[in-house]
Structure 1
Amino acid sequence: MLSMKTSVDVTVVGAGPVGLLLACELALQGVRTTVLERLTAQADTIKAQMISGLTRQMLGMRGLGPAIDAASEEEADRLAWNPRRSTGHFAGLFKLDGLPLVMLSQQALERILEARALDLGVEIRRGVEVTDLGLGSEYVVGCDGGRSTVRRLAGFDFPGTGPTLTGYQAVVDLEGDLPHGWHRTPRGVHASGPLQGRVMLIEYDGPPATRDVTREALEAALRRVSGRDVRITHVHTATTWTDNTRQATTYRRDNVLLAGDAAHVHSPFGGQGLNLGLQDALNLGWKLATGDSALIDTYTAERHPVADRVLRNTLAQVALTRPDPRSRELHSLMSDLLDLPEVKARISAMVQGTDIRYETGCDHPLAGTFLPGLDLADGKGATTAVDGREAVVRPDGYIARVGR
């Protein structure tokens, strides 16, 4: 049981990308921060493999661009990945042009953020399991994933819809003919690539009985869904996922807050989860550092609607990809709609998050939107010119107001 008094101002529970980035944001503001992590070492299970162009811009504000680009180039070379051939997708419809993707595994991003956090003086304590919230700090932030202990201990409501499918993501050695790309069949969805040996498949017959994935179970599922005589000879890494879709009704209860998957869970359709969580951290960090309760409350006000939209669009994508005849017709209709430039632009902006606009009380059309190209490495915000007028930019890169 952790209940000792410490001198830290904020305790972040969870040393994934969201928790580490939040710790960096707090440290930039001079806040003493400790990160507690249950695992003794970084997990090597396959997770997110890319970040969006918007997230890359946001992390670039903090001077992390060179490290991210170097890691991305190294991974792309090692995995023979050509980003120019990659586009974003909606329900497996790869028609979202203008959606830049940056090859960067979650593990590589965690290493970059952990190095930065340590440079900033953050204390990271691994092998520590939190069993109560008496941590001796002014605030506790749960960044401890979809099964968040912090969320449970603090009593946050977490309503939503239960799981209806079993998804697999794995890197394997495969024998047999499995076509590249996404494919819908009468039994589900299977996909291969863009990375060598990476497979994804979905069966719409309920949630997985266990989170453990054996070679035999994965091979049987792939054969069922694809209808092909394929054999998996070795599993390098594998995980399961579902469409469990839930969101905390508020992201704050007194001095306890939630970010990332601790605050919202959904299926990985569209690759939105990691970006959503990182942007939570960028929104929360500078607000929490002020200790201003009213400002901290705007974290829920601003980020809850953003996550709600992601939850809704991922549920829609699940519905579109189901193998029944009605869903197949909806999928075909959506494919036709995405050929319309205005529909494609709207869906692309939604998945990327580039259309987010926070309420600022300023009526300038750019107020509340993200302003790219700024160097905010100190996390302090800036004053710059927008349309020839003085504009105040928040530490997370969003425009607070534009002068007359």
Structure 2
Amino acid sequence: MKASDVTVVGAGPVGLLLACELALQGVRTTVLERLATRSGTIKAQMISGRTREMLAMRGFGPAIDAASAEEATRLAWPVRRSTGHFAGLFKLDGLPLTMLTQQALERLLEARALDLGVRIRRGVEVTDLNPGSEYVVGCDGGRSTVRRLAGFDFPGTGPTLTGHQAVVDLDGDLPNGWHRTASGVYASGPLRGRIMLIEYDGPPATREVTRDTLEAALRRVSGHDVRIRHVHTATVWTDNTRQATTYRRDNVLLAGDAAHVHSPFGGQGLNLGLQDAFNLGWKLATGDSALIDTYTTERHPVADRVLRNTLAQVALTRPDPRSRELHSLVSDLLDLPEVKTRISAMVQGTDIRYETGCDHPLAGTFVPGLDLSDGKGATTVLDGLETTVRPDGHISWIGPR
């Protein structure tokens, strides 16, 4: 029996992608968003190669590449970066990362959702839950109202640091890249004026960011005599690390940051949430309770691993002498091909394997891009899946039935 109606709370990338997945299966879907307009605050700046492949399977590949190129021209940043990082060590390899702001991705997903008939209601705040026979999915972020109202347990570790990310106009120069100092960590680029700061002296006293507090933190951490003339956008973050014990309570489910929060080390959060949506969408559309339960079974261990590796990265980047020596040791280990491959796969999620009960090495893994050449031109499995998108750009159907 198919699910008849689903309400998705949160119109970020995870909520919008989930709505698209449900609409593709003919489910009447409504998205509720507390904010009246899309947030312009600096957030995620890229998607992983694996996430791009999955979005390409839904026909988003050309639009993502075009948006990335447009953003690169407008913001003066590289379109692709082939290496990721672990604790600021830019030694990872694997699938290329695509530079794409979260706002640009949201625009693409919202346009597709509206084309598919999804109702998006902005300026609507959820204050109570009474789902009845309808499903409700909380995609409303780390301070999820849905998670709180439904009574999900959310254990983990509290915050120990204060991080800032901002785009600013500077008087003075900062060297590009990541830098560890006696006071913390700072980074500059690749986006012009983009800075990142970490101080390991406890959680932020407030989530409000002013020019003066940001400038003071930048001078403390970097040691450079720089001044901030103007703040275009800024946000504060920490290493609060928690995960819901289950992603489902009756007809209420969680996805993305509503289900798990962690520090942004390695840029894993957005990709983790989008892949939650891919896993949940088609299962929820069936209305099959046992199948829906496999969402938690499959995705909970994946997020648990991200939480653990981000905690490890926080520990490695602390400025005390012991952590500095550990960071140096890990840097040496990442020069070993087998270690580089293992950590790269973990951060990019390319080694995820769901339990299937089958011993074949490919069972439960992402479909590999195998060559399907037929003598008329090279193609791959992923290229073949993209052909289900009609010439007008709409999707007739993709995914399990």
| TM-score of the superposed pair, with normalisation by structure 1 | 0.91
Which residue of 43, 66, 69 corresponds with 2:62? Answer: 66
- 1:17 alignment counterpart: 13
Q: Against the structure 1 CA distance between its residues 164 and 379, is the aligned structure 2 distance closer, same or farther, given a 3 Å change threshold?
A: farther
Output the amino acid matched with 1:114: E
Residue 296 of structure 1 pairs with residue 292 of structure 2: yes
Query: Aligned ranges for residues 147-162 of structure 1 at < 5 Å?
Result: 147-162=143-158
- 1:328 alignment counterpart: 324
Deviation for aligned residue 1:8: 6.2
Write out per-residue CA displacement over residues 322-377 of structure 1, whole angstroms, 9 at most, x where no aligned residue: 00000000100000000000000010001110000111122221111111413365
Which residue of 101, 121, 128 corresponds with 2:124? Answer: 128
Q: Distance in 1 between matches of 2:20 and 2:175?
A: 42
Output the amino acid matched with 1:288: L
Query: Aligned ranges for residues 176-187 of structure 1 at < 5 Å?
Result: 176-187=172-183
More strand as a share of residues? 1
Deviation for aligned residue 1:176: 1.2
Deviation for aligned residue 1:134: 2.0
Output the amino acid matched with 2:362: L
Q: Distance in 2 between matches of 1:47 and 1:285?
A: 24
Which residue of 214, 217, 224 corresponds with 1:218? Answer: 214
- 1:259 alignment counterpart: 255
Q: Please, which moves more after superposition, 162-171 or 67-76?
A: 67-76
Deviation for aligned residue 1:379: 4.8
- 1:90 alignment counterpart: 86
Query: Aligned ranges for residues 31-70 of structure 1 at < 5 Å?
Result: 31-70=27-66
Residue 356 of structure 1 pairs with residue 352 of structure 2: yes
Output the amino acid matched with 1:44: G
Query: Aligned ranges for residues 356-375 of structure 1 at < 5 Å?
Result: 356-371=352-367, 372=369, 373=382, 374-375=385-386
Q: Distance in 2 between matches of 1:358 and 1:379?
A: 24
| Alpha-carbon contact 1:191-1:199 (below 8 Å) kept | yes
Q: Distance in 1 between matches of 2:319 and 2:238?
A: 16
- 2:278 alignment counterpart: 282
Write out per-residue CA displacement over residues 108-135 of structure 1, whole angstroms, 9 at most, x where no aligned residue: 1111000000000000111111111125
| Alpha-carbon contact 1:46-1:239 (below 8 Å) kept | yes
Structure 1 gap ranges (5+): 1-6, 382-393, 396-404
Residue 203 of structure 1 pairs with residue 202 of structure 2: no
Residue 103 of structure 1 pairs with residue 79 of structure 2: no
Output the amino acid matched with 1:108: A
Q: Distance in 1 between matches of 2:300 and 2:259?
A: 9
Which residue of 159, 165, 174 corresponds with 1:163? Answer: 159
Q: Distance in 1 between matches of 2:124 and 2:351?
A: 39
- 2:306 alignment counterpart: 310
**3-state DSSP of counterpart to 2:329:** helix
Deviation for aligned residue 1:84: 5.4
- 2:185 alignment counterpart: 189
Structure 2 gap ranges (5+): 370-381, 389-394
Q: Against the structure 1 CA distance between its residues 359 and 15, is the aligned structure 2 distance closer, same or farther, given a 3 Å change threshold?
A: same
Residue 242 of structure 1 pairs with residue 241 of structure 2: no
Deviation for aligned residue 1:86: 5.0
**3-state DSSP of counterpart to 1:95:** coil
Aligned length: 377
| Alpha-carbon contact 2:50-2:95 (below 8 Å) kept | no
Q: Distance in 2 between matches of 1:349 and 1:298?
A: 23
Output the amino acid matched with 1:327: S
Q: Please, which moves more after superposition, 94-103 or 166-175?
A: 94-103
Deviation for aligned residue 1:177: 2.4
Write out per-residue CA displacement over residues 204-237 of structure 1, whole angstroms, 9 at most, x where no aligned residue: 0001111110000000000000111110000000
| Alpha-carbon contact 1:21-1:278 (below 8 Å) kept | yes
Q: Against the structure 1 CA distance between its residues 245 and 232, is the aligned structure 2 distance closer, same or farther, given a 3 Å change threshold?
A: same
| Alpha-carbon contact 1:8-1:136 (below 8 Å) kept | no
Q: Against the structure 1 CA distance between its residues 85 and 356, is the aligned structure 2 distance closer, same or farther, given a 3 Å change threshold?
A: closer
Q: Distance in 2 between matches of 1:100 and 1:246?
A: 29
Q: Against the structure 1 CA distance between its residues 338 and 378, is the aligned structure 2 distance closer, same or farther, given a 3 Å change threshold?
A: farther
Q: Distance in 2 between matches of 1:164 and 1:67?
A: 39
Q: Distance in 1 between matches of 2:301 and 2:358?
A: 20
Deviation for aligned residue 1:380: 4.0
Deviation for aligned residue 1:137: 5.5
Q: Distance in 1 between matches of 2:69 and 2:309?
A: 31
Output the amino acid matched with 2:113: A
Output the amino acid matched with 1:261: D
Write out per-residue CA displacement over residues 270-311 of structure 1, whole angstroms, 9 at most, x where no aligned residue: 000000000000000000001110000000000000000000
**3-state DSSP of counterpart to 2:63:** helix
Q: Distance in 1 between matches of 2:331 and 2:365?
A: 29
**3-state DSSP of counterpart to 1:89:** coil
Q: Against the structure 1 CA distance between its residues 8 and 365, is the aligned structure 2 distance closer, same or farther, given a 3 Å change threshold?
A: closer
